[in-house]
Chain A
């Protein structure tokens, strides 16, 4: 089955700096890659996703890139703000799995003011 590895497990940045979180996946048939943000005491919230027919997608300060050949994808947050502090999860799924997702282990991002 699919395996998703996420790095780093913790990331501390200064406010205004950029943050990058990376994930690798094992199943070359994976074609949908969402990212979730989980704030303390809340459920994971879908913040951006990318499908295998595109290499990059942006939404204001966040962007995702996908390298299907290398089987890795990344989340980029620019001009970080204290409210970006949360745990971020990547995930992957394949058409064969319907809408089941395999999640990475999570990255705790801390943005220092």
Chain B
């Protein structure tokens, strides 16, 4: 099993540019989570999907952030326009849609906005 796949692994962009982060969950998993990790705020849940449907997006910081899951094997997190305070590591995780199961994290995308 390849695990959760994220791309790119590193992204450096200038303020105001659009950034798209990509995630491929583990095959068969039907829940997908996007997290952001910073030193100051720790690990924050941004949004999660069950069966490709967004269930809770209350963690999305503002309208500049959007996420989609067009099919069971692909999701994107988009930031438009990006700002320096968006600099962080963004993780995607997947799991089975069932209580009491663990989430499996990807390697993350380190985003730097200058």
Contact = CB atoms under 8 A, between A and B. Distances in A.
Contacts of B25: none
Nearest to B48: A100
B28 interface: no
Contact of A100 (B4, B56, B104, B105): B56
Interface string B77-106: 000000000000001010111111111111
Given A31-B100, A34-B102, A99 B95 contact: yes
A70 B34 CA distance: 31
A106 B42 contact: yes
A43 B9 CA distance: 11
Contacts of B33: 100
Given A100-B45, A100-B56, A105-B42, A45 B105 contact: yes
A44 B91 contact: yes
B54 interface: no
Interface of B: 4, 31, 33, 42-43, 45, 48, 50, 55-56, 91, 93, 95-108
Q: 3 shortest A-B CB distances, which residue pairs?
A: A43-B105, A32-B100, A95-B99
Given A36-B105, A100-B45, 17 more contacts: A31-B99, A32-B100, A32-B101, A42-B108, A43-B105, A44-B105, A46-B103, A89-B43, A97-B99, A98-B31, A98-B55, A98-B98, A98-B99, A99-B97, A100-B33, A101-B103, A105-B42
